Structure 1
Amino acid sequence: MLASQQELSGVQVASYLMNWDDHYTTHRFQGLFLIQTERFLQTQLNETRVQQKSEIAAHDVIKSDIYDDETMGNDNNDEENFQIHSAEHDKKYVLVNTRIDYQYRSDNLNRMCLYDFVSIFYKKKMNTTDLKYLSKTAGSMEEKITQKGRPPNERFLFPKQHPQVTTYLMMKYSEHHVPVLYGPQIPR
């Protein structure tokens, strides 16, 4: 709301009355939580080392466990954060996050790093337009050449391992977003 004891210009008043934004940016931003991804990767690395059962790997796991215990005392953010989303036409719910979406991305996107993935794609609930687009992409190149207007945004299905394979897909942004890295400060 408007602050008392503050003068406002005519432009400010008009923008408030029209429900316009009070600031403008040249870029769009998308958050990326590094802690949960880093912790998942560390857990996977430790499990892989344990499975190899070599002396060097066992020594590294013990050494990294000691380090992890020290850092766990310093911060309580060691748990991965999830969002609750519907799956299979709102009949059941699943826990998902960006890490799961990236881990189970389409095979066509396997060569893409996490940073680019977040800046180029977003998850979208499937509708009939998406299904129509996906069926047309399997069609001939002649249909694509004769298409008029702006080309539709690319869409990619999740593989069967993803918990939302039947209800969601990854869609390409019209304009790239700038990932904002959340988590501890990146060392210089």
Structure 2
Amino acid sequence: LIDKSDRRLIKNANGSEGERLDTEGTKMNERYTFESAHPQASSHIVMKHTNPVVPVLVGPQIPRQEREETRERYSRALLTLFVPWRS
């Protein structure tokens, strides 16, 4: 969620949608805005983590690739983890 300092940065940003918000002073994590058509554009931002973060899928384990009946679920799980996407 966007806090007061993030709102100030977004208000003062001269860049276009999706660009990095530049700051002065102490180096902050990079922050990116959503495109205006995104449903959470006015309330959320994307922040680049300082330390690497490994996503964890919640739910049943990733199915086996070798089985024909689970191949599609396996592919979706890997795409979720390793390919950036938008709807």
CA radius of gyration, larger in? 1
Greater relative contact order structure (CA < 8 Å, 6+ sep): 1
Q: Higher helix fraction: Structure 1 or Structure 2?
A: 1
More strand by share: 1
Q: Could you tell me the TM-score, scaled by structure 2's length?
A: 0.46
